[in-house]
């Protein structure tokens, strides 16, 4: 299934694709610059290639401008590796990626999406709130720390 909104297409992707890898590396570098190693919870490129992860990219023509992943956590889906190229921000790409993740989570039978984000990522907080996410307690294997914000959204 391909989701098209304006000229941005959200399609299944491969984290090992050259452009997707470059985006993920940029995201990882940003997270390392903002947060201590023990507070970084991003997935490696290899970890994004397992069967329980659905990875999507945002394409404009043949250029990859954003990415996001949905991790199957059994009773809920978790948003992972959400990142948009800084030069492509303001085009609604993150909104489109989140819509696709929510649709995929619903199709997989999940009734809840959860995520962990950094406290310094204020634009991300606003985006997630605009999509119905609210703060929640740590979940899964996460532990409370001073730089993580945990959020949840009911689907359906």
pTM of this structure: 0.92
Measured between alpha carbons, how far is 17 from 13 in angstroms, rounded to an integer? 8
The mean pLDDT value of the chain amounts to 94
Per-residue pLDDT at 5: 45
pLDDT digit string, tens, across residues 75-122:
999 999 999 999 999 999 999 999 999 999 999 999 999 999 999 999
Domain boundaries, the chain: 3-111
Task: Identify the CATH homologous superfamily for domain 3-111.
Answer: Gcn5-related N-acetyltransferase (GNAT) (3.40.630.30)
For 39, the token pair is 């507070």
CA 140 to centroid of chain Cα atoms: 17
pLDDT reported for residue 3: 42
Residues whose CB is less than 8 angstroms from the CB of residue 100 and which lie 6 or more positions away in sequence, other chains included: 3, 10, 56, 68
User: CA 45, 64, 7, 13: dihedral to nearest 10 degrees?
Assistant: -40
């Amino acid at each position: 299934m391909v989701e098209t909104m304006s000229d941005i297409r959200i399609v299944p992707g491969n984290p090992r694709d050259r452009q997707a890898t470059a985006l993920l590396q940029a995201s990882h570098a940003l997270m390392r610059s903002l947060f201590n190693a023990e507070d970084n919870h991003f997935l490696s490129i290899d970890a994004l290639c397992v069967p329980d992860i659905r990875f999507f990219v945002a394409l404009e023509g043949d250029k990859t401008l954003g990415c996001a992943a949905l991790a199957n956590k059994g009773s809920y889906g978790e948003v992972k590796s959400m990142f948009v190229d800084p030069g492509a921000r303001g085009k609604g790409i993150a909104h489109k990626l989140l819509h696709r993740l929510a649709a995929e989570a619903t199709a997989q039978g999940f009734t809840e999406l959860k995520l962990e984000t950094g406290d310094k990522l204020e634009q991300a907080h606003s985006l997630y709130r605009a999509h119905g996410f609210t703060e929640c307690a740590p979940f899964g294997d996460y532990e409370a720390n001073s730089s993580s914000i945990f959020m949840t959204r009911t689907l359906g």
